[in-house]
Amino acid sequence: MIQKLTKKQYNSLVTLELFSEEYSRSYGCITIDSKTYKFSWQSTLIDPQIEFFKPNIVGIAIDQHFCLLNSKNGEFKTFRLFTPFLFMKTFEKELFIVCETEIMLLNPFLLEQDREYSFDEIIKDITVRDQFLTVFFIDDSETRINLNDENSIYITH
């Protein structure tokens, strides 16, 4: 899916750049519907994660970068993350971008951020049931957030 490139190949590739890092050590591109997009990142140990959403929406994440791409019309929006990206999950019509100590909720169809939550502990996993987001941390604690209440106070267990 991702084609790894050398720095020379990356620099000579004339196409849309989704994101790049000033001190990149890894380079790649992805071709979707005969359109090629390039991006670069710092990490040499992990590869970008790519997730396809309906219709024609692609999420690409690595290090402290996340990009939502509409492969049908070529529109995209890049988000700079405060802490390193861990994983992404979808629940109903929202996309959860999970980083070490933050979670961003995005509307992937509008390419917009809905809200964001920050924590002191490192996140291990998340679940959504009914209107509650449960965040599980590496110290075995957990927090519940009412997603229907924008002023919801975190409930820690």
In order along its 157 residues, the chain shows pLDDT tens digits of: 789 999 999 999 999 999 998 889 999 999 988 899 999 999 999 999 999 887 788 999 999 999 999 988 889 999 999 999 999 998 877 899 999 999 999 988 788 888 899 999 999 999 999 889 999 999 999 999 998 877 666 655 5
pLDDT for residue 33: 84
Structural domains counted in the chain: 1
Range of the domain at 69: 2-83
pLDDT for residue 39: 96
Q: How many helical (H) and strand (E) elements, i.e. helices and strands, does the chain have?
A: 1, 16
- Residue 144 domain flag: no
Query: How do residues 43-59 score in pLDDT, each as one tens digit?
Result: 999 999 999 887 788 99
Asked if residue 20 lies in contact with residue 29, where contact means CB atoms within 8 angstroms, the answer is no
Which residues neighbour 125 within 8 Å (Cβ) at sequence distance 6 or greater? 136
- Residue 12 domain flag: yes
- Residue 64 domain flag: yes
